[in-house]
């Protein structure tokens, strides 16, 4: 079976409950039997850099060692970018600069590393931002440029404005909820382009946000995030089970039709349709 192409969108700090109540376009896809919706429980600590690494390598913080936002170094694990490259696939990312520090270069040099177009790096085509208020509209425009001009097999997209507003105003605020609405509107423009280009799409988050305007703890508000999957290889509808965040990486490998890295867990997600062996 030939390889499929996948877009993984990780929306920073998008809570599960707010996604369910304020993402009308994503819910429309679920109701029209175009997408599956899952509840994902993040690893802990529910912090950004550790969970970027967890999502992209399929390993928990105690294994990958990135247990704090203050750890700045390249990953020691085999990420989705690495395993895609090992299988002859091309990769790209429009993302926060911590993603570059995990997989391309560390530390990030702000005046040199924003644009990284290098086929020898795990992220072959990287457009990286370094301010939390960098507009999500610009980020999705960056991702669209990568989609149109580089046509990567695996594209990682990582907007930050929901997290930024959550820290400024808390999750119990009109600003946070309105930002979720705005991001849903951007997805309504971006996802149809992905589908027109023949991509499978996963939309999820690293962690949630609390009414204190923070995250890092063990509550449902910290840890429960959504995962929407748009693929003819996953049965659509609302799934009742809570999925481990460790499942995101092997799910991406399944959709890419490549073998997962050795340290990734077995894929155990409800609704997976049988496919030919890799």
Q: How many domains does the chain have?
A: 1
Task: Answer yes or no: is 112 within a domain.
Answer: yes
pLDDT in tens, 15-72: 999 999 999 999 999 999 999 999 999 999 999 999 999 999 999 999 999 999 999 9
* Model confidence pLDDT, tens digit, residues 156-195: 999 999 999 999 999 999 999 999 999 999 999 999 999 9
Confidence at residue 219, expressed as pLDDT on a 0 to 100 scale: 98
Residue 262 lies in a domain: no
In a domain, 272, yes or no: no
Q: Is residue 157 part of a domain?
A: yes
End-to-end CA distance of the chain: 8
pLDDT band at 2 (very low <50, low <70, confident <90, very high): low
Helix axes 24-31, 174-196, angle to 10 degrees: 50
Q: How confident is the model at residue 273 (pLDDT cuts 50, 70, 90)?
A: confident
- Interatomic CA distance for residues 171 and 166, integer angstroms: 5
Domain span at 100: 5-256
In a domain, 49, yes or no: yes
**Is there a domain that residue 86 lies in?**
yes
The pLDDT of residue 274 is 72
Nearest to 225 by CA among 14, 10, 52, 6: 14
229-269 pLDDT tens trace: 999 999 999 999 999 999 999 999 999 999 999 999 999 99
| Tens-place pLDDT, residues 127-157 | 999 999 999 999 999 999 999 999 999 999 9
pLDDT at residue 11 is higher than 50? yes
Q: Which CATH number covers residue 106?
A: 3.40.720.10
Question: How large a percentage of the chain has pLDDT more than 90?
Answer: 97
CB atoms under 10 Å from CB of 32, counted, come to: 9
- Over 70: is that where the pLDDT of 209 sits? yes
Verify cis geometry, omega within 30 degrees of 0, for the bond prior to 107: yes
Q: Is residue 134 part of a domain?
A: yes
Residue 277 forms part of a structural domain: no
Task: Give the model's pLDDT for residue 275.
Answer: 62
């Amino acid at each position: 079976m030939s390889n499929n192409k996948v877009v993984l969108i990780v929306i920073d700090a998008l809570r599960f409950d707010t996604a369910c109540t304020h993402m009308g376009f994503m819910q429309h896809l679920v109701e029209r039997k175009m997408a599956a919706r899952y509840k994902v429980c993040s690893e802990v600590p529910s912090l950004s850099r550790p969970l970027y690494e967890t999502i992209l390598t399929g390993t928990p913080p105690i294994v990958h060692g990135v247990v704090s936002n203050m750890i700045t170094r390249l990953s020691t694990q085999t990420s989705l970018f690495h395993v895609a490259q090992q299988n002859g696939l091309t990769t790209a990312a429009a993302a926060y600069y911590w993603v570059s520090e995990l997989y391309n270069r560390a530390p990030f040099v702000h005046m040199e590393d924003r644009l990284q177009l290098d086929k020898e790096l795990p992220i072959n085509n990287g457009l990286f931002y370094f301010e939390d208020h960098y507009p999500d509209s610009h980020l999705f425009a960056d991702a669209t440029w990568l989609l149109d001009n580089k046509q990567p097999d695996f594209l990682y997209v990582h907007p930050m404005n929901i997290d930024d507003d959550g820290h400024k105003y808390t999750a119990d605020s009109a600003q946070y909820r309105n930002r979720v609405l705005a991001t849903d509107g951007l997805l309504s423009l971006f996802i149809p382009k992905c589908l027109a280009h023949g991509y499978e799409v996963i939309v999820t988050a690293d962690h949630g946000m609390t009414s204190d305007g923070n995250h890092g703890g063990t509550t449902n508000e910290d840890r429960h995030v959504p995962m929407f999957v748009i693929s003819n290889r996953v049965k659509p509808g609302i799934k009742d089970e809570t999925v481990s965040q460790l499942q995101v990486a092997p799910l991406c490998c399944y959709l890419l039709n490549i073998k997962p890295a050795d340290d990734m867990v077995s894929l155990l997600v409800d609704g997976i349709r049988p496919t030919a062996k890799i």
